[in-house]
């Protein structure tokens, strides 16, 4: 099974193999979003599990991330080209201040683009002031914040407070996610939506722009 081989190549951190298998699957007519979910993401999930079990350490994780990104870069333009851009909706997205994790945020961004959202990505380590400035400047339908560290979770309510202070809270829907974020936390801090993964993020975003 090539999906399994691709996931294994991500786990091995084998850039060459990941590129080769991604291209092979594409040449067989497999849809890029399926390659992403069934191969690259499955591999990254295994890496996360092995890291949790202390079977993998940061250097291995970084090698796997690099291999995953190599496949991701091949399919990214295809997913973006396929996007209908039929939705007039805008999303400003970023990883909160103090947090440098961007693999999950990039996937959420890509999946949103693939469904036609116009995504403005502020990158990593984004302070509340920059989120608020971006909301003022781009007037998005959704502000999407990703946090992977419990130590940076508080940036989410801080940003919401600043939006309120600047009288912009009711002009934008807020969606949050990332490993330590839960539905209860999302509700407690006053966000409008929570998604546990990139696929679900699209469902939640579509729901938010409807309401």
CB of 204 to ligand B1M, least distance (A): 7
Q: Which two tokens stand for residue 4?
A: 């399994």
Query: Which residue, 27 or 93, is less far from ligand B1M as judged by CB?
Result: 93
Cα–Cα distances in angstroms (integers) from residue 201 to residues 90, 103, 109, 133, 179, in the given order: 14, 14, 9, 23, 13
Residues that bind ligand B1M in the complex, under the rule CB under 6 A: 44, 48, 51-52, 58, 61-62, 65, 98-105, 107-108, 144-146, 148-151, 175-180, 195, 197-198, 201
Query: Which residue, 122 or 195, is less far from ligand B1M as judged by CB?
Result: 195
Query: Which residue, 146 or 159, is less far from ligand B1M as judged by CB?
Result: 146
Length in residues, the chain: 211
Q: How many CB atoms lie within 10 A of CB 166?
A: 14
CB of 107 to ligand B1M, least distance (A): 4
Query: Which residue, 17 or 105, is less far from ligand B1M as judged by CB?
Result: 105
CB of 186 to ligand B1M, least distance (A): 9
In 3D space, the residue among 150, 161, 104 whose CA is nearest the CA of residue 128 turns out to be: 161
> Are the C-beta atoms of residues 142 and 209 closer than 8 Å to each other?
yes
């Amino acid at each position: 099974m090539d999906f399994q081989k691709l996931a294994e190549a991500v786990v091995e951190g084998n850039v060459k193999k990941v590129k080769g298998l991604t291209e092979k699957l594409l040449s067989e007519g497999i849809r890029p979003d399926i390659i992403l979910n069934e191969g690259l993401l499955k591999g990254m999930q295994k890496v996360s599990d092995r890291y949790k079990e202390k079977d993998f350490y940061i250097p291995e994780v970084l090698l796997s991330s690099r291999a995953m990104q190599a496949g991701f870069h091949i399919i990214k333009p295809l997913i973006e080209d396929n996007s209908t851009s039929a939705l007039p909706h805008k999303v400003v997205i970023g990883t909160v201040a103090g947090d440098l994790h961007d693999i999950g945020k990039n996937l959420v961004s890509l999946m949103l683009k693939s469904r036609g959202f116009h995504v403005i990505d502020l990158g990593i380590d984004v302070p509340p002031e920059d989120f608020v400035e971006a909301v003022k400047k781009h007037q998005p339908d959704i502000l999407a914040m990703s946090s992977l560290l419990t130590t940076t979770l508080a940036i989410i309510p801080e940003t919401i407070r600043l939006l309120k202070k600047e009288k912009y809270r009711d002009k934008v829907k807020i969606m949050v996610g990332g490993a330590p974020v839960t539905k209860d936390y999302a509700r407690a801090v006053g966000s409008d939506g929570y998604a546990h993964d990139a696929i679900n993020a699209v469902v939640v975003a579509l729901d938010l722009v409807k309401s």
